[in-house]
Amino acid sequence: MPELIPTAFFFFAASLVLLAVPQGKARGALLLAVPLAAAWQVWSLPLGTFAQVEFFGFSLDLMRVDKLSRVFGLIFCLAAFLGNLYAWHVRDTVQQVAALLYAGSAIGAVFAGDLITLFFYWEGTAIASVFLIWARGTEGAYATGMRYLIIQIGSGVILLAGAILYHTETGSFAFEQMVLGSPATWLIFLSFGIKCAFPLLHNWLQDSYPAATVTGTVILSAFTTKLAVYALARGFAGTEILIYIGAVMTLFPIFFAEIENDLRRVLAYSLNNQLGFMVVGIGVGTEMALNGTASHAFAHILYKALLFMSVGAVLFRTGTSKASELGGLYRTMPLTTIFCLVGAASISAFPLFSGFVTKSLILDETAAEHYPVIWAVLVFASAGVLSHSGIKIPFFTFFAHDSGMRPKEAPTHMLLAMGLTAFLCVFIGVYPDPLYALLPYPVEFHPYTMSHVVGQLQLLCFALLAFGVLMRTGIHPPEIRAINLDTDWTYRRMAPSVIAIMAVGVSRIWTRWTRFGSSTITRMISGLYHSTGPEGRFAQTWPTGAMVLWIAILLGVTLILNFASHG
Amino acid sequence: MARKTSKRPAAKTAKKPAVTAAKKVAHKQTRDTGNLPALGRMMLWVDRPGSANKIFWGLAVLCGVLFLLDFTYEKHGHFDVEHLPGFFGIYGFVMFTGLILAAKTLRIFIKRPEDYYGDKAIDREVYPEDQLDKVKYNA
């Protein structure tokens, strides 16, 4: 009865089996087979709740399969497959196991029907994924991984606190639609918000993703944040504040992405911006908007993985992913260039590419529900996506000035992974119906109307033209070796220096206080000794009987108290 | 650090047909194009003198066509502004330019040297060689 085994367990079992399989083709094949088997199971399961288990008197739902969880479960399996194919050359058991446990936890969380299960898998994704950062094996990666882990585990702890409060409030751990208002729901919301990289809670993302290994970043990019999007869609659909949070999310990262030099960090900012579109969709909360969020998450996982793969391939061959060092690589890496361009066109939502058929759902629904300002922000953010992911990534890596680097084309398995992902990006764009059929609600939407296509092409082509003008006039900011401050400054620079200043102050006060204390006590003791010690003045006049008298009085009082308390 | 000084003009040559620079690039290419992958050789067109110009003006013509197309069909947007001819084009052009200028301004305030968080931060580290496979195309 394979349908009784929760999908996540496929991955956990495989991570044990893996240890017995020798490195090489057999292990690579296992790493590819597991996500396929999992996808097959998700695909063939009927809708419903399976695998209920008792846990300390609570009933846990390990497999809640409905249309919302199914579409996320499927894309997670697909992402795990593509990520493992891309990582075919990796001979590091830690990374292989981490990738399996990470994907398994994310899939487990998606199918979790209650908050306890969700919490376990939520922390599972945090713990498994950090090894993809630490696997780089450098001091910087270790420190970054620590920061990442603290924030991710923190999110889980907040979720647990929220879940417990939620249980005392409602008497249930069921993970269903919630109404924001009580401390419980706010805590759960905050926990989701951290993983979803809400504004000001976002910087773990840009801090950690560029620190992971070449293949680790590809795998990281798929799961954590989209799990948070799923959780928000499940728990807080139609929560209005999400519209504004989402709009800010689409907006601010595009400015940072524009001036960032590390291309993998540019992609992390761009990922943040794409999450914004999904969060707006959740906030609008209508059936079509939620369809938009689910489909955009699906398409986004693919094209974002594709972009990370292409930049990763460049890093793999040249040792750098900095825009200031790269350029002109199309000569020797033409296939990677084309795949990168497909990813760029998809994320920029050019017609016939995946982003177009999914993002229009969200944009259209925002307009239909009459949020003119939000709509204008989203359209602006769409042009912003073009600027960093559509132009900057491919242009400064593969074209622009010739860096003189002549790296070999990416290895075959990477090309295969990129080719497959690129194919899916185009396929979804050209023929969106199969994806639409997977969505939680029936889709009545035609992306390819004259209005949509011409409007979108105008937006993108005029923006490209603006780029051309800015390049020709030299106004476009050059790529330079530098970093930019973001909120990580508060805990990488400000907090340590505040703590250092405070430590000096506290230690000074402490020294003075203890010195004052010890001298006072010494003085007191010697004073007492002086007056009441054997040589003291009081001792001279006290008769020995005084002691006996006092003891008698004490006993008497005890007797009376005892008598009174029992009387 | 010599790289840094050459950055700006170099980045510009790709789009701007500064004839001498482009010729130099073209000359260099004639020397090492022989073993390039066929697909890569085909794409060399983009670096030929004048190509950047052609791409730019081609794009401008395309924009013109898209603008004129707006008069040929009936729009059904949700807001009035969407019915203005070329609304999306103008909005895209203006906002894109604004974005670049704003980002450039932002850079003045938040730009820091690469070793700002110390030499052990990932921005300064060299990516571990044993995890890479740095091969030249003709190796």
Nearest-by-CA chain B residue for A408: B137
Of B12, B63, B134, the CB nearest to A407: B134
**Which residues of chain A have a CB within 8 Å of the CB of B54?**
none
Q: Considering B69, B85, B109, which residue would you say is the last residue of a domain?
A: B69
Please answer yes or no on whether A454 and B93 come within 8 Å at the CB atom. Answer: no
Determine the Cα–Cα distance for residues A348 and A392; give it in Å rounded to an integer: 12
Q: Assign 3-class secondary structure to A323-362.
A: CCCCCCHHHCCHHHHHHHHHHHHHHCCCCCCHHHHHHHHH
Say what the pLDDT of residue B9 is: 41
**Which residues of chain B have a CB within 8 Å of the CB of A487?**
none
Please answer yes or no on whether A462 and B93 come within 8 Å at the CB atom. Answer: yes
Minimal CA separation from B40 to chain A, in Å: 4
Same domain, A274 and A135: no
B69 contacts: CB under 8 Å, gap ≥ 6: A454
Q: Is residue A549 part of a domain?
A: no
For residue A52, the cross-strand partners are A61
A295 contacts: CB under 8 Å, gap ≥ 6: A71, A357, A358, A361, A432, A435, A436, A439
Say what the pLDDT of residue B34 is: 67
Q: Assign 3-class secondary structure to A426-481.
A: HHHHHCCHHHHHHCCCCCCCCCCCHHHHHHHHHHHHHHHHHHHHHHHCCCCCCCCC
Domain count, chain A: 3
* Residue A239, helix vs strand vs coil: coil
Please answer yes or no on whether A402 and B40 come within 8 Å at the CB atom. Answer: no
pLDDT digit string (tens) for chain A, length 567 residues: 444 789 999 999 999 999 999 999 999 999 999 999 999 999 999 998 888 888 888 888 899 999 999 999 999 999 999 999 999 999 999 999 999 999 999 999 999 999 999 999 999 999 999 999 999 999 999 999 999 999 999 999 999 999 999 999 999 999 999 999 999 999 999 999 999 999 999 999 999 999 999 999 999 999 999 999 999 999 999 999 999 999 999 999 999 999 999 999 999 999 999 999 999 999 999 999 999 999 999 999 999 999 999 999 999 999 999 999 999 999 999 999 999 999 999 999 999 999 999 999 999 999 999 999 999 999 999 999 999 999 999 999 999 889 989 999 999 999 999 999 999 999 999 999 999 999 999 998 999 999 999 999 999 999 999 999 999 999 999 888 999 999 989 999 899 999 999 999 999 999 999 999 999 999 999 988 887 777 776 666 666 777 788 899 999 999 999 988 876
What is the distance, to the nearest Å, from the Cα of residue A205 to the centroid of all Cα atoms in its chain?
6
Same domain, B6 and B62: yes
Same domain, A230 and A248: no
Of B102, B103, B135, the CB nearest to A408: B135
Residue A407, φ and ψ in degrees, nearest 5: -75, 155
Same domain, A232 and A300: no
CB of A445 closer than 8 Å to CB of A361: yes
ipTM, 2 decimals? 0.85
Q: Is residue A560 part of a domain?
A: no
- Which two structure tokens, joined as six digits, stand for A397? 């890596």
Please answer yes or no on whether A255 and B103 come within 8 Å at the CB atom. Answer: yes
Q: Considering A179, A202, A236, which residue would you say is the last residue of a domain?
A: A236
- Which two structure tokens, joined as six digits, stand for A451? 């209005």
Q: Considering A236, A252, A285, which residue would you say is the last residue of a domain?
A: A236
Please answer yes or no on whether B100 and A477 come within 8 Å at the CB atom. Answer: yes
Distances (CA, A) of A385 to A189, A210, A270, A452, B9: 27, 19, 7, 18, 25
Please answer yes or no on whether B112 and A258 come within 8 Å at the CB atom. Answer: no
**Which residues of chain A have a CB within 8 Å of the CB of B69?**
454
Domain count, chain B: 2
Same domain, A47 and A75: yes
Closest to A155 (Cα-Cα) out of A210, A192, A111: A192
Determine the Cα–Cα distance for residues A499 and A480; give it in Å rounded to an integer: 33
B74 contacts: CB under 8 Å, gap ≥ 6: none
Of B7, B56, B79, the CB nearest to A479: B7
Residue B70: Cβ-neighbour burial (10 angstroms; 0-12, 13-18, 19+): buried
Please answer yes or no on whether B96 and A400 come within 8 Å at the CB atom. Answer: no
Same domain, A179 and A314: no
**Which residues of chain A have a CB within 8 Å of the CB of B107?**
259, 477, 484
For residue A286, the number of C-alpha atoms closer than 13 Å in the C-beta half-sphere is 14
Closest to A125 (Cα-Cα) out of A145, A110, A105: A105
∠ at Cα A459 (A454, A464), nearest 5°?
Answer: 120
pLDDT confidence tier of residue B22, bands split at 50, 70 and 90: low
CB of A117 closer than 8 Å to CB of A62: yes
Q: Is residue A532 part of a domain?
A: no
Same domain, A123 and A199: yes
Closest to A258 (Cα-Cα) out of A390, A378, A349, A373: A390
B61-97 pLDDT, tens digit per residue, is 999 999 999 998 888 888 888 888 899 999 999 999 9
Domain that holds residue A280: 238-486
Closest to A398 (Cα-Cα) out of A333, A479, A342: A333
Determine the Cα–Cα distance for residues A226 and A272; give it in Å rounded to an integer: 11
Over 70: is that where the pLDDT of B30 sits? Answer: no
CB of A276 closer than 8 Å to CB of A250: yes
Same domain, A298 and A174: no
For residue A139, the number of C-alpha atoms closer than 13 Å in the C-beta half-sphere is 7
Same domain, B54 and B87: no
DSSP A408: P
Q: Is residue A541 part of a domain?
A: no
Same domain, B41 and B89: no
Same domain, A332 and A420: yes
Minimal CA separation from B23 to chain A, in Å: 13
Q: Is residue A533 part of a domain?
A: no
Same domain, A243 and A231: no
Same domain, A243 and A377: yes
Q: Considering A180, A213, A236, which residue would you say is the last residue of a domain?
A: A236
Q: Is residue A553 part of a domain?
A: no
Distances (CA, A) of A290 to A197, A287, A358, A359, A375: 19, 5, 11, 11, 16
CB of A306 closer than 8 Å to CB of A425: yes
CB of A64 closer than 8 Å to CB of A396: no
CB of A462 closer than 8 Å to CB of B63: yes
Residue A61, φ and ψ in degrees, nearest 5: -100, 105
Q: Considering B69, B91, B116, which residue would you say is the last residue of a domain?
A: B69
Determine the Cα–Cα distance for residues A137 and A140; give it in Å rounded to an integer: 8
Q: Considering B16, B41, B69, which residue would you say is the last residue of a domain?
A: B69
Closest to A218 (Cα-Cα) out of A94, A102, A119: A102
Domain that holds residue B33: 1-69
Say what the pLDDT of residue A70 is: 96
Nearest-by-CA chain A residue for B88: A459
Determine the Cα–Cα distance for residues B60 and A468; give it in Å rounded to an integer: 9
Q: Is residue A537 part of a domain?
A: no
Same domain, B8 and B64: yes
Phi-psi sector, A24: left (phi>0), alpha (psi -120 to 50), beta: left
* Residue A63, helix vs strand vs coil: strand
Say what the pLDDT of residue A53 is: 86
Q: Is residue A303 part of a domain?
A: yes
